[in-house]
Structure 1
Amino acid sequence: MTTIISDTENRADERESDQHPRDASGNGTALEHTDARSTRSATICVVGLGYVGLPLAVGFAQSNYRVIGYDVDDVTVGRLQEGIDTTGDLSDEAVRDDDISYTTDATEIGGADYVVIAVPTPIDDDDRPDLGYIESAATTVGSKMDPGTTVVLESTVYPGATREVLVPALEDASGLTAGEDFFVGYSPERATPGDENHGLEDVVKVVSAQNEKVLEDVATLYESIVDAGVHRAPSIEVAEACKVIENIQRDVNIALVNELSMAFERLGIDTREVLDAAGTKWNFHDYRPGLVGGHCIPIDPYFFAHRATRAGADPELIRTSRAVNESMPNHVAELTIKALNQCHKTLRESRVLVLGLAYKADVGDIRSSKVADVVDHLREFGIDVAGYDPHAEADAVRNAFDIDVQDSLTFDGFDAVLLTTGHSAFEEFDLDDVAAALDDDAALVDVVGAFESDDADDADLVYRSL
């Protein structure tokens, strides 16, 4: 069973007795690197128990650290206390680890040697970074942490934000001085929800800190939970920048194939056939067109562009790529409308079933899903839209998308199927059976490229794809 820490003073006493001595300059760390590998005497508090923070808490606990899992969300903490995996990427058994104490009580932060902040960093309505969650978390942590604490930020930020935003907020709330009374590091998250082969322990961890001693300490801490090892970045700014450009690179490349797919559609050329042919060259990179949703790729380019613009640079390619990928929901809706027209359907009398509402395959997360934008475009033409997703909670989808959501899949009475998320369950469909259940002269719009056009033709379905 998980527990809530209630003996704060006892924990603080234990922490004081476990504390390792610092050097005279104050640049020592709370835990020597040899101890991080062996005794696991440190207490670690993870602030923010989402898809980044919860795996971290579990990973530290599985490496025999004492872990405090802190979040402001009563519902999330309550479910975790009941032993329920709230991310879907771990297991209930892992969440029930006795070495993790889930709490909404900020005073428990004072019992930690290390505090890892993993809170959301969204953009606002003007595509500018919103670091309010970081400032709030830093204020809370700073007001509770003891001298000697090492604070590591994992949230995605623009280069310089750790020093410009996190550190001042910690200092203001604590009355302490960074580098003398407490210490700061940055290690960008590389979480990949739904990917069992690239979990926390499987991906090289980039770490950075305000000086070499803190860097070695933080690196050793992460080495104890990441089998793939760590990369020591020479500065916090390098580590911050590496995170955002990892996703900028993907955004730019996806934008290229998305733009190509829109051009090929005009030219009457099959995009997949072109990419398959080009892929026979050894150095051709295999990117595929599609909707670009989620918590990273659509967000991180704006963080870098914001900071680069402040410095007088003009990241034109990055902004253009974002614009291309943001235009894809409209393009997918247009493909669907063209398919319905080809089937001689009246748009205001048409019904479309959207398969897949989550932002990526085989996960249930509908936040930041671009499918919602596709639905909105279709409804502007009076098209009746319903949805089905085997992974997403139906009630959550109904609230977020404002559409009818099927609890069990049926194709009866629909004029078109729009496959927007490549859940593996959809790959098993027999197109003849699908066509038989649909209305006469129906269409299949295959955004993810799960089916072959010849198979759709054999099933007498009008077929469209990116």
Structure 2
Amino acid sequence: MTTTISDTEKQENEPASDQYSLQTDDDGTTIRHTDEQPPREATICVVGLGYVGLPLAVGFAQSNYRVVGYDVDESTVEQLQAGVDTTGDLSDESIQDGDISYTTDAAQINEADYVIIAVPTPIDDDDHPDLSYVEDAATTVGSKMDPGTTIVLESTVYPGSTRDVLVPALEDASGLTAGEDFFVGYSPERATPGDEEHGLSDVVKVVSGQNEKVLEDVASLYESIVDAGVHRAPSIEVAEASKVVENTQRDLNIAFVNELSMALERLDVDGQAVLEAAGTKWNFHDYRPGLVGGHCIPVDPYFLAYRSSKEGFEPELMQMSRKVNESVPDHVAELTIKALNECHKTLRDSRVLVLGLAYKPGVGDVRSSKVEAVIDTLQEYDIDIEGFDPFVDNETIEAQFGISAQERLEFEAFDAVMLATPHAEFEQLDLEAVASELAPDPALIDVTGALEADEATDAGFVYRRL
């Protein structure tokens, strides 16, 4: 099978020029070729061009591989072909940087020596893993790939999924045998949207393969693009489990501080001050309470719990942590209602402005934002709510949350402000100026405690935070 050239070979053959040329495929795909260094021998196909797959495709192209980016979403591919970064984490220039093409034509998969599958793995309404995207991708890849291809799954799955779900689908579609005619590895994604310090090349990559030879081949492939290096897991199942454990651990720790904040509130003790005091001990782990949204932390524990329960063991701590964190939106809504009551507001006549609707600061993704659950509860009390998020367009806000969205930030006549997602753009709010624009006796619900409590109370707010 085709192998990658080493960095030493690349440096020895690297010409001094830095010239690029543009060519167009028969299907209209624009490809940018670079003469900066000779092309590597392998062709990579990345299946799924979301926040995981697109940085991978770009990373390989920038390392001088020939890359095919495949996705079933015609709109996504059209934007990429037009030079538009669809993730917001790269740049319009970078997605055309190197020998890379974007396509919805599955036939181009057979050009690849390596196929990396990076498709979504959500949970269903019963909190069970939905691996249908993996199965569909495997069926497509299997029907197009040539013998000798190596397939690497990056999607988050429960231990055993690569062997029990991916491999059978590949074999059924291809008529080939894994380990003989094609080869399989697993490397869990560690993408962190909105975090410039922890991009693809900056984070150690866990890799695995169905045997030692495949493991070394997959490790060599990722070592060529990941500056931080790779960790060779002893089995595919270890690599699969490592991914869900990473985020399950975070879910457990956040659940503890969320429950702690609720308990200390009943005791009339400042939870944030408690965490600061406890944090002076050298081995105290610094976690803060908050809404747990996104595509990883509130999802991955279900993968591990599901697989464990299938083997007859119910992981109660994981499941309880999920229940605690899922209860936080209701608690935030309760804090808001209590603050409005303390301000002598009539709930059905109250107006609340929600600042930040994305699931985390610095991103515009609202698909798994827990702010939606907070808003839903408040609307049950006929509270009028508007929203503003500098990273999210108004059409998306109105469709996702069922509220009006502000074109520009205005505070006039609102009874309360909720800082739900503390984007950096909100850190410098002049609270005295904000309070002067609001209705008399306003409330400020600072969900994560991003603002100064004393400054808020001095400005005249009834202040609440987790």
Alignment TM-score > 0.5, same fold: yes
Q: Distance in 1 between matches of 2:176 and 2:2?
A: 16
Cα distance in 1 for partners of 2:254, 2:45 equals 37
Looking at structure 2, the residues matched to 135 and 49 of structure 1 have their Cα atoms a distance apart, in angstroms, of 17
> Structure 2: how far apart are the matches of 1:79 and 1:36?
36
Contact 2:353–2:416 (8 Å) recurs in 1: yes
Amino acid at match of 1:392: V
Distance 1:296 1:36 in 2: 37
Distance in 2, matches of 1:202 and 1:259, equals 33
SS of the residue corresponding to residue 427 of structure 2 reads helix
| Match in the other structure for 2:254 | 254
Q: Residues 30 and 150 of structure 1 are in contact (CA less than 8 Å); yes or no, is this contact kept in structure 2? A: no
Corresponding residue of 2:316:
316
CA contact (8 A) 2:5 2:41 kept: no
Determine whether 1:30 maps to 2:35.
no
SS at match of 2:387: strand
Question: What corresponds to 2:153 in structure 1?
Answer: 153
- Which residue is equivalent to 2:112? 112
Counterpart residue type for residue 226 of structure 1: V
Per-residue CA deviation, residues 137-159 of structure 1 (Å, 9 max, x unaligned), is 00000000000000000000000
How far residue 314 of structure 1 moved from its aligned partner, in angstroms, is 1.4
| 1:349-364 superposed matches below 5 A | 349-364=349-364
CA distance, structure 2, for counterparts of residue 121 and residue 197 of structure 1: 25
Task: State the 1:311 CA deviation.
Answer: 1.0
1:30-79 per-position Cα deviation (integer Å, ceiling 9, x unaligned): 32674897491100000000000000000000000000000000000000
Partner of 2:282: 282
Note the aligned Cα RMSD (angstroms). 1.2
The aligned residue for residue 24 of structure 2 is none
- Change over 3 Å in CA distance of 1:349–1:109 after alignment to 2: same
The alignment partner of 1:327 has SS state of helix
| Residue 211, structure 1, aligned to residue 183, structure 2 | no
Q: Is the 8 A contact 1:119 1:133 kept in 2?
A: yes
SS in 2 for 1:143: helix
In structure 1, distance between residues paired with 2:194 and 2:317: 30
In structure 2, how many angstroms separate the alpha carbons of the residues matched to 1:49 and 1:395? 23
Instruction: Tell me the distance in 2 between the aligned counterparts of 1:32 and 1:437.
Output: 62
Q: Partner letter of residue 220 of structure 1?
A: S
1:236-273 deviation per Cα after TM superposition (whole angstroms, max 9, x unaligned)? 00000000000000000000000000011111111110
| Residues 4, 41 of structure 2: 8 Å contact kept | no
Q: Map Cα deviations across residues 382-411 of structure 1 (whole Å, 9 max, x no partner).
A: 101110000112111111111001111000
Listed as ranges, the gaps of 5+ residues in structure 1 are 1-28
Q: What SS does structure 2 have at the residue aligned with 1:305?
A: helix
| In structure 1, C-alpha distance between the alignment counterparts of 2:343 and 2:8, rounded to whole Å | 65
Percent of aligned positions that are identical: 72
Contact 1:330 1:373 in 2 (8 A): yes
Pair 1:446-2:446 in alignment: yes
Q: Which amino acid aligns with 1:300?
A: D
Match of 2:324, SS? helix
- Structure 2 CA distance, aligned partners of 1:37 and 1:120? 36
2 CA distance for matches of 1:52 and 1:160?
21
Taking a change above 3 Å as real, the CA distance of residues 170 and 216 of structure 1, as seen in their structure-2 partners, is: same
TM-score, structure 2 as length reference: 0.93
Q: Which residue of 2 aligns with 1:83?
A: 83
Deviation at 1:318, TM superposition (A): 0.1
Residues 36 and 325 (structure 1), Cα distance of their counterparts in 2 relative to 1, 3 Å cut: farther
* Count of equivalent residues: 438
Shift of 1:97: 2.1
Distance 1:127 1:37 in 2: 49
Query: In the alignment, which residue of structure 2 is the partner of 1:136?
Result: 136
Structure 2 counterpart of 1:261, which letter?
S
How big is the shift at 1:422? 1.1
What does 1:325-336 correspond to in 2, within 5 Å?
Answer: 325-336=325-336
CA separation of 1:349 and 1:237: change in aligned 2, threshold 3 A? same
* Distance in structure 2 (CA, Å) of the matches to 1:422 and 1:429: 11
Q: Which letter maps to 1:109?
A: I
Matches within 5 A, 1:149-298: 149-298=149-298
Contact 1:416 1:444 in 2 (8 A): yes
Q: Return the alpha-carbon distance in structure 2 between the equivalents of residues 246 and 325 of structure 1.
A: 17
> CA separation in 2, counterparts of 1:37 and 1:68?
24
Specify whether residues 96 and 52 from structure 1 end up closer, same or farther in structure 2 by C-alpha distance, changes over 3 A only.
same
| Aligned twin of 2:100 | 100
Paired AA for residue 148 in structure 2: G
User: Given that residues 200 and 226 in structure 1 are in contact (C-alpha distance below 8 angstroms), is that contact kept between their aligned partners in structure 2?
Assistant: yes
Q: TM-score, normalized by length of structure 1? A: 0.93
Letter in 2 for 1:194: G
Aligned residue for 1:388?
388
Q: Deviations over 1:413-466 (max 9, x none)?
A: 100001110100000101001100100011000002111221111101100000
Match for residue 15 of structure 2? none
Q: What's 2:300 paired with?
A: 300
Q: Which runs of 5+ in 2 are unaligned?
A: 12-39
